[in-house]
Each structure stands twice: as C-alpha cells, then as structure tokens.
Amino acid sequence: MSRLAIIAGRGGLPAALVAALPERPLVCALDGFLPEGLVPDQVFRVERLALFLRALEDQGVTRVTFAGAVQRPRLDPALFDPQTATMVPRLLAAMQAGDDATLREVLAIFEEAGFQVLGTAEIAPHLVPGAGVLAGQVTPADERDAARAEAIVAALGAADVGQGCVVAAGLCLAVEALPGTDAMLAQVAALGAPLRPGKGLFYKAPKPGQDARVDLPALGVQTVVNAAAAGLAGICWQAGGVICLDLPAMQAEAQARGLFLWAR
C-alpha cells in the first residue's frame, strides 16, 4: 500500500493537513523546525538526508508532501554520512542561488530517490480556495489596489524577495521580506495618518514560476486579526495559489471585523 509522508516545518499547516486526510500520514520534521500542534513520528537532519530517504523507503513511503516553514539550517560537517556527503556540492550551489533554487534541488533529490512529490492542492484541495469573494464586499477601489499589488508581488517574487504587500489607493505601504507577514502588517499598523491614503488591502501570491508543490504562501485567522489591526479593508490573494489554514474561521473573523476576503 502506498504510504504518504509529510515533510513538516514550523507553523500550523502540517497539523491542518493531517486533520484533512482520511488516514494519518507519517510525519517527519527537520530538526529545529518542529510543527505546531503535532508530534512528529521522526525528526531528521540534512546531514543524514540519504539515510532518512532510505528510512522512508523502508517504511513503505512512496509519496511525500512538504508543509510548513523552514530556514536554511546550519550544517555540521562532522555529521555527514558518506552518501549524503556526495550531495553537498549540489545543495550548497543551490543555496547560493536562492531559496527557489534550493527548493527545486530538494525536490529533485526526493524524486531521484523514487518518491512522488505532491502539493497541498493535490491532497487537500479544500485548503487552497478557488476564485470568489469569501467574506465582505469588494469595491472598485479595492479592485484597482489588487491589480497594483499583483504587479508589485510579481516583481518581488521574480527577485526572490517575498510573496505579499500592502497597497492603499495605488500606493505601496509595505512589502513582505524575510521578517514575514506579521512583521509587515505591524509595520503598516504603526504608520501615521499622513502616510495612509486609504484603508487598502493585503495581497498574497506565489512567486512567478514557483513550483506549486512546495512553499505556497499561507494565510490563517491570525492574518485576519493582524490585517484588521493594521486598519486594512481586506485581504486578497491569488486564487488557487494560497493555502488557507482554516477558511471557515477566517471567514467568521473577517465578518466580525468588517474585512473582505477575496480569492482573486
């Protein structure tokens, strides 16, 4: 029988995926990047990647999915097993080329080992909403801001910078970078009135050409809370390209706070 393994990182997505699946998958976490609300079955290190891949095969795993946030771990040369050591040059070269190149290389290594790599949309499609206004109402001004934000995020993504920004009345108030979404929204909340041309919106989308099987952006209830605290009119994202960890709870929170949610 084909077994699925979740390669988990930080955040709530791994637990949301486990809850969405009819049978519990094998949950494996990178050391130092444990998921929230979920106890992993196995913790592994990059320095032992070849041994980890072999262990997955021994446990009947044929399919894997990646879920959760990780950063580039510090590698200890003393811990490399001989087979993993042969992968080091390609991994280091990919890391130097950026996050997207690193992810592509990791996917390639798993596929070369014989595993089918699946995206969240393939195993839990309800977590990746299609197009529609899911809460509140969208105005023509919001539509213009969304178009402007889409262009900005596409430019950011092409430079491997971030996956989100805040736009109000056509002006970019903040962009998402390494500190993440919460830090960006806090920055917007701290802006004084002279810098606020209107309420505006938070926009999120994957990077251009991004492999949809890994590192899709994610939104959750806390995103709605933070967007409201930032004084925004709503949240907009690329339909079919963003994970909503708990859409019913997000909708309830948005309705309570007067925000719109729009999968564009």
Of all residues in the chain, what percent carry a pLDDT higher than 90?
Answer: 72
Domain boundaries, the chain: 3-123, 128-263
Higher local confidence (pLDDT), 198 or 260: 260
β-strands 132-135, 260-263 pairing: antiparallel
Mean of pLDDT values over 118-135: 94
Question: What integer pLDDT is reported at residue 78 of this predicted model?
Answer: 87
Residues 168 and 142: their CA atoms lie apart, in Å, by 8
Of all residues in the chain, what percent carry a pLDDT higher than 70?
Answer: 98
- Judged against a pLDDT cut of 90, whether residue 90 lies above it is answered with no
Mean pLDDT of the chain: 92
Higher local confidence (pLDDT), 233 or 92: 233
Instruction: State the Rg of the chain over Cα.
Output: 19
pLDDT tens per residue, range 242-258: 999 999 999 999 999 99
Q: Do residues 260 and 254 lie in contact, with contact meaning Cβ atoms separated by under 8 Å?
A: yes
- Judged against a pLDDT cut of 90, whether residue 75 lies above it is answered with no
Question: What integer pLDDT is reported at residue 63 of this predicted model?
Answer: 97
- Judged against a pLDDT cut of 90, whether residue 153 lies above it is answered with yes
pLDDT band for position 193 (cuts 50, 70, 90): low
Q: Do residues 51 and 81 lie in contact, with contact meaning Cβ atoms separated by under 8 Å?
A: yes
Mean of pLDDT values over 80-95: 86
Question: What integer pLDDT is reported at residue 131 of this predicted model?
Answer: 97
Question: What integer pLDDT is reported at residue 194 of this predicted model?
Answer: 66
- Judged against a pLDDT cut of 90, whether residue 235 lies above it is answered with yes
Question: What integer pLDDT is reported at residue 15 of this predicted model?
Answer: 94
Mean of pLDDT values over 89-113: 83
Question: What integer pLDDT is reported at residue 1 of this predicted model?
Answer: 59
Higher local confidence (pLDDT), 107 or 95: 107
Q: Do residues 221 and 253 lie in contact, with contact meaning Cβ atoms separated by under 8 Å?
A: yes
- Judged against a pLDDT cut of 80, whether residue 101 lies above it is answered with no
Mean of pLDDT values over 192-212: 85
Query: On the CB side of 114, how many CA atoms lie within 13 Å of its CA?
Result: 11
Question: What integer pLDDT is reported at residue 132 of this predicted model?
Answer: 97
Q: Which fold has domain 3-123?
A: Rossmann fold (3.40.50)
pLDDT tens per residue, range 167-185: 999 999 999 988 899 999 9
Q: Do residues 254 and 261 lie in contact, with contact meaning Cβ atoms separated by under 8 Å?
A: yes
Mean of pLDDT values over 27-51: 93
Alpha-carbon distance values, 240 to 35, 63, 121, 132 (Å):
24, 22, 8, 11
pLDDT band for position 35 (cuts 50, 70, 90): very high
Q: Do residues 30 and 45 lie in contact, with contact meaning Cβ atoms separated by under 8 Å?
A: yes
Architecture of domain 128-263: 3-Layer(aba) Sandwich (3.40)
Q: At which residue do the structure tokens 């605290």 appear?
A: 229
Q: Do residues 237 and 204 lie in contact, with contact meaning Cβ atoms separated by under 8 Å?
A: yes
